[in-house]
Amino acid sequence: MLVVGAGLAGLSAADELVRAGYEPIVLEARERVGGRVHSRTLDNGAVVEMGAEFILPGCTEVLGLVERFGLGLWDKGMRYGQREPRGVEVTRGALEEASILIDEALREGREGTARELLADLPLDAGAREAITARAEVSAAAPAELVPAVELGGLARLSDEPAPSVAGGNGRVAEALAAELGGDVVHLGEPVRGLAWGEGGVVARTDEGEVRAQACIVAVPASVLGRIEFDPALPADLADAIASIDYGHAAKLFVPLRADAPPSATLSVPDRYWAWTATGGGAEVQPVLNAFAGSAPALERLGVGDGPRVWTERLAALRPDLDLDTGDALLSTWDDQSWSAAAYSLEPAPATCARIAAGAGPLLFAGEHVAPEYGALMEGAVRSGRAAAERVAAAP
Ligand SMILES: Cc1cc2nc3c(=O)[nH]c(=O)nc-3n(C[C@H](O)[C@H](O)[C@H](O)COP(=O)(O)OP(=O)(O)OC[C@H]3O[C@@H](n4cnc5c(N)ncnc54)[C@H](O)[C@@H]3O)c2cc1C
């Protein structure tokens, strides 16, 4: 059995295949596992997440992996669902009222885009703007591309914890890979072509060919075009893959020179949020983290030219913090060969189902194939396992 991609989807698929008695081979393009889960440690000791950070409520499979490998969690001290909006006139009461109206509308089954729903409801103007900003940031896309139903999660003021893995989320991927072993996971080996048919699959890499009975392709839809399928994928499957839209996001990390309390603030005009969070104990890690979402936001913050503009804006947003602005670290994904974007934009369940069904000996996995948990680590894990279960169930 072959798995392409050692992100959480590919690693979970391989893990499940091993449990089912197979001996999978995982081919990974990068020189590391984890894909869009990538933890780094700054010179001052702060652990930052270049990609996925928060284990959102309900992400039980990721929590299960944390427990299985005995990794522990960092509560973070701040709350993902509470971000103080700045750059707009709005009261806490107006935000709460708006969030109730949105929930009511969604319960009534209102459809359409987030932009349409927010325009239709009689919301306080500041609350409308703040909620639009929050939705655009987290969905990593303009509100006209975000389904209204997403506001149920994106607009909710919530005190529920959204922790990260103690010492970095990357530890989950590393633990899965370590358990699989070095013979199973091959790094720095991008798959260039997949020939497939009744007899199985032949993967072409720069090192040679790998033959397998079946293959789980666990790479983002945004870079599937870099793999040459022979024969081409069936038209309806290729169309389903092509129909997946992606959000665009970047992160910025600025070391702190002095202690700070946990905090979470949202720059409404610039469409990014910024937080300080605790690590292992009650003390805040010495870093200000920021996440900007949607292509227009990245453009406005000049992300393509480096961290300068965003760092200046961040310093203006958080004058309360002593920032070491000369040492800012930027994390971008649009320019990475093996991701090319941040995460998918809620593909329709029918689209996910078509992609997951695959073609012949080819199956597909990844956060973009997970209807309920799309765009999340949880979706990646679930989709990988589901693909492996399909392989095991095949006659
Ligand atoms: C900035 C950012 C913030 C995020 N924040 C959160 C968050 O707070 N919480 C959350 O749950 N999720 C978050 N996510 C989403 C989360 O990271 C993803 O949903 C999840 O990690 C996707 O896993 P995956 O296995 O589907 O894909 P990936 O992690 O992209 O793995 C795919 C793997 O395939 C490899 N690959 C690609 N092409 C080839 C090829 N041709 N041959 C071999 N290998 C190949 C890639 O190198 C990669 O390792 C965030 C993502 C980003 C970018």
Atom nearest to 250 CA in ligand 1: 1
Mean pLDDT of 373-391: 97
Asked, for residue 42, whether it belongs to a domain, the answer is: no
Q: Which of 31, 207, 219 to mutate to test the pocket of ligand 1 (most atoms within 8 A of CB)?
A: 219
Whether residue 115 is found in the same domain as residue 235: no
Are β-strands 185-186 and 25-27 bridged in parallel, bridged antiparallel, or unpaired? parallel
Asked, for residue 54, whether it belongs to a domain, the answer is: no
Total count of domains within the chain: 3
Distance (Å, rounded) from C-alpha 159 to C-alpha 216? 38
Q: How far is the CA of 367 from the centre of ligand 1 (A)?
A: 8
Whether the per-residue pLDDT at 104 is higher than 90: the answer is yes
- Band (pLDDT 50/70/90 cuts) for residue 319 is very high
Atom nearest to 331 CA in ligand 1: 1
- Residues 196-207: pLDDT tens digits? 999 999 999 999
Q: Is 210 helix (H, G, I), strand (E, B) or coil?
A: strand
Asked, for residue 77, whether it belongs to a domain, the answer is: no
Whether residue 295 is found in the same domain as residue 322: yes
Quick count: other Cβ atoms within 10 Å of Cβ 21?
7
**Percent of the chain scoring above 90 in pLDDT:** 96
pLDDT the model gives residue 270: 98
Asked, for residue 52, whether it belongs to a domain, the answer is: no
Whether the per-residue pLDDT at 237 is higher than 80: the answer is yes
Whether residue 240 is found in the same domain as residue 376: yes
Whether residue 241 is found in the same domain as residue 272: no
Asked, for residue 267, whether it belongs to a domain, the answer is: yes
Distance (Å, rounded) from C-alpha 3 to C-alpha 26? 5
pLDDT the model gives residue 250: 98
pLDDT the model gives residue 182: 84
- Band (pLDDT 50/70/90 cuts) for residue 245 is very high
pLDDT the model gives residue 381: 98
pLDDT the model gives residue 274: 98
Atom nearest to 333 CA in ligand 1: 53
Mean pLDDT of 278-307: 97
CB under 6 Å to ligand 1: residues?
4-10, 27-30, 35-37, 51-54, 56, 190-191, 218-220, 223, 226-227, 249, 251, 333, 338-339, 342-343, 366-367, 375-380
Q: How far is the CA of 85 from the centre of ligand 1 (A)?
A: 29
Q: How far is the CA of 248 from the centre of ligand 1 (A)?
A: 13
Whether the per-residue pLDDT at 30 is higher than 90: the answer is yes
* Rg for the chain, CA atoms, rounded: 21
Mean pLDDT of 367-386: 96
Q: What CATH number corresponds to the domain at position 220?
A: 3.50.50.60
Q: Phi and psi (nearest 5°) for 229? A: -90, 135
Atom nearest to 380 CA in ligand 1: 26
Whether residue 321 is found in the same domain as residue 210: no
Domain encompassing residue 116? 84-154
In the numeric block, which tokens belong to residue 40? 């780094």
Whether residue 359 is found in the same domain as residue 316: no
Whether residue 146 is found in the same domain as residue 270: no
Looking at ligand 1, which residue's alpha carbon is closest to its atom 11?
376
One-letter amino acid at 234 equals: P
Q: How far is the CA of 61 from the centre of ligand 1 (A)?
A: 16
Mean pLDDT of 50-73: 98
Whether the per-residue pLDDT at 395 is higher than 80: the answer is no
Whether residue 233 is found in the same domain as residue 369: yes
Q: How far is the CA of 182 from the centre of ligand 1 (A)?
A: 21
Q: Is 291 helix (H, G, I), strand (E, B) or coil?
A: strand
Q: How far is the CA of 376 from the centre of ligand 1 (A)?
A: 9
Asked, for residue 79, whether it belongs to a domain, the answer is: no
Asked, for residue 78, whether it belongs to a domain, the answer is: no
Whether the per-residue pLDDT at 155 is higher than 80: the answer is no
Whether residue 143 is found in the same domain as residue 186: no
Mean pLDDT of 183-194: 98
Whether residue 278 is found in the same domain as residue 130: no
Whether residue 256 is found in the same domain as residue 316: yes
**Percent of the chain scoring above 70 in pLDDT:** 100
Q: How far is the CA of 8 from the centre of ligand 1 (A)?
A: 7
- Band (pLDDT 50/70/90 cuts) for residue 387 is very high
Mean pLDDT of 309-319: 98
Residues 79 and 56: beta-carbon distance below 8 Å = no
Whether the per-residue pLDDT at 271 is higher than 80: the answer is yes
Whether residue 150 is found in the same domain as residue 199: no
Asked, for residue 208, whether it belongs to a domain, the answer is: yes
The domain boundary, picked from 313, 332, 351, lies at 332
One-letter amino acid at 348 equals: A
- Band (pLDDT 50/70/90 cuts) for residue 125 is very high
Distance (Å, rounded) from C-alpha 351 to C-alpha 343? 16
Distance (Å, rounded) from C-alpha 79 to C-alpha 277? 9
Whether the per-residue pLDDT at 51 is higher than 90: the answer is yes
- Band (pLDDT 50/70/90 cuts) for residue 350 is very high
pLDDT the model gives residue 346: 82
The domain boundary, picked from 154, 187, 203, lies at 154
Q: Is 333 helix (H, G, I), strand (E, B) or coil?
A: coil
pLDDT the model gives residue 358: 97
The domain boundary, picked from 287, 312, 332, lies at 332
Q: What average pLDDT does the structure give for the chain?
A: 97
